[in-house]
Amino acid sequence: MKHEELFKRAKKVIPGGVNSPVRAFNGVGGTPVFVTSGRRQRVFTADGRELIDWCCSWGAMILGHGNPEITRAIASRAHRGTTFGIATPDEVEFAERLTSLVPGLDMVRAVNSGTEAVMTAVRLARGATGRRIVLKFDGCYHGHSDAMLVKSGSGVLTMGASSSAGVTDGSVADTMVAPYNDLAAVERAFAKHGKDIAAVIVEPVAGNMGIVPPADGFLKGLRAITEKHGALLICDEVINGFRFGLSSYSALYAGVTPDLITLGKVIGGGLPLAAIGGKRKWMSLLAPDGPVYQAGTLSGNPLAVAAGLKTLAILERDMPYSRMAELGSVLAVGISTIAAEHGVPVTCQSFNGVFTPFCTDIPVQDLADAKACSTKLYAKIFHGLLERGHYIAPSQFECNFVSAVHAPRDVDRFLSAFEQVLKKL
């Protein structure tokens, strides 16, 4: 079936024809791809094409598509019931696994999405401190709850807006925004509003304006500032968590223990599963023990927990992280080198297998740098690679991912296709 036909049908019954905005290809133009199946590092489209997938469900499919161990775990669990709205032993095991792997994670609560995890973390921080303001960073995306859609990155940025209709003045008033990697701006915010700031929330490695690693000392600086002023530090590791190693980025690379952490994507093994966790003194404030309310009928869903447990077990057994990092480095260096040889302004930033080919000739350190990139050039590169069998994120402001099942030949094919694209520009 042709994608054009599917998209035409979809637009009649789904807003914009998609169930998540960035799928609509607004950032690159053209008709969205419709996928019917996936196997390992490949996806198969409704019009019969085979693509090497570098998007990997926005990072969730760290073990590739259709992993047989994960699918067997889901099927086995499904035969015994798909949801109960009652506690299950697997939920306990899942929480125990997460708390054993992430320092500072004394307790966790399972939810269904990263948005829900962040929404809960923000409410919990306000309830714990009695303060109203949350400070976030320009270009960091923390889901689509109202307070977090103030100057967001990711899909909202792709649509050319810095906020969303329907976000009230009250939500805007309770959210402050600082430039990512700018500690001085954070210090100024606390100097003026410190007694009202409940929390600072940050993606340790920003992943929603393209991949932008933290500057040296940035995360430790945030930890020091929040501790000084009695605010909570929330690390949003929905993308970062278990992507760069078998724990959180903040623990493995930054040496920082936040008060609260949000996790998602990898921990769900491809199913809708996320979590909020942190220090016991804060987590015990959640209902039913405390006054901060949060609930969810499908939270800790048996199928999702089964997929998550199996994913964590495979990652611990196989430890694919160094291999993914090596392939990602080869890919990033190759992209930048080829672009330089052809005089095309593309700089590929990467960290341990996560990469973004920024259409600029300078390093990207914050949202202002990312917005200066050429989205028109990115669109040409995107469609050129798509024609040659490679699917990357359909937006300049997103990340791409090397999975545990990508091989050196996939990198070679990507770089060959990339060079062919540049030759035709």
Which H/E stretch holds residue 278? Answer: strand 274-278
Q: Out of 236, 259, 366, 369, which one is annotated catalytic? A: 236
Q: Out of 53, 90, 136, 141, which one is annotated catalytic? A: 141
Active-site annotation holds for 369: no
Which H/E stretch holds residue 226? Answer: helix 218-229
pLDDT tens digits for 4-52?
999 999 999 999 999 998 899 999 999 999 999 999 999 999 999 999 9
Domains of the chain from N-terminus onward:
68-317 (3.40.640.10)
* Amino acid of residue 86: I
What value does the mean pLDDT take over residues 399-415? 98
Active-site annotation holds for 321: no
pLDDT tens digits for 300-338?
999 999 999 999 999 999 999 999 999 999 999 999 999
Closest CA to 51 of 421, 417, 297, 359: 417
Contact in structure between 425 and 344 (CB atoms under 8 Å): yes
Q: Out of 136, 151, 265, 310, which one is annotated catalytic? A: 265
Percent of the chain scoring above 70 in pLDDT: 97
pLDDT tens digits for 106-130?
999 999 999 999 999 999 999 999 9
This prediction's pTM: 0.94
C-alpha 89/C-alpha 94 separation (Å) is 9
Contact in structure between 111 and 123 (CB atoms under 8 Å): no
Active-site annotation holds for 236: yes
* Amino acid of residue 147: A
Peptide bond preceding 288 in cis form (omega within 30 of 0) = yes
User: Which residue shows structure tokens 């402050």?
Assistant: 176
| Cβ-proximal residues to 82 (8 Å cutoff; 6+ apart), any chain | 301, 302, 303
Closest CA to 181 of 220, 142, 134: 220
Give the burial string for 230-240 (b: 16+ CB within 10 Å, else e).
Answer: ebbbbbbbbbb
| Cβ-proximal residues to 75 (8 Å cutoff; 6+ apart), any chain | none
What value does the mean pLDDT take over residues 417-424? 97
